[in-house]
Amino acid sequence: MKFTAREDIEAPIDVVFGHVSDFATLERSALRRGAEVQRIDDLAETGPGMMWDTAFMLRGKRREMKVELTEFDPPNGMIMLSRSANISGRMVLDLVALSRARTRLNLDIEIEPKTLAARLMVQSLKLAQGNLNKRLRMRVAEFGRDLEERSKTVG
């Protein structure tokens, strides 16, 4: 199952990449939304091999997942893989400079069930896929607007 979002952001690609790779801020944002996030690697610098243990509520159940940053290509993008007992996932974040002051953010999230129970859950998600894709696009658009506002006040 795949989810996609695309947003054009009025900010240079380096600024956008700086925000999407600010993992400390993203961790705090997830915590504020009710997720549990714990960094589990001991890397000193941002890059491949960074890992997190996460837990969150989905469809009325607590879900636990390990997330790993597998590719990190500043300022072009990154790939993260997620694994749980029932589902694996892959998130590809791609940035394209449209001009010096405008960047396109492409986000692809793919999830794959590993068990029968997970297949049933993914099937129920497929029924709501249009709504979930819409919510993802709205979140990405909100992220883009916030980033534009922050880059205006800083720049």
Cis amide linkage into residue 75, ω under 30° from 0: yes
Domain boundaries, the chain: 2-154
pTM of the model: 0.91
Pick one of 3.30.530.20, 3.40.190.10, 2.40.50.220, 3.40.50.300 as the CATH number of 2-154: 3.30.530.20
Query: In degrees to the nearest 10, what's the CA dihedral of 143, 81, 14, 37?
Result: 60
| Ordered per-residue pLDDT tens for the chain, 155 residues | 999 999 999 999 999 999 999 999 999 999 999 999 999 999 999 999 999 999 999 878 899 999 999 999 999 999 999 999 999 999 999 999 999 999 999 999 999 999 998 999 889 888 889 999 999 999 999 999 999 998 877 65
What's the token pair of residue 28?
């705090």
Query: By three-state DSSP, how is residue 9 classified?
Result: strand
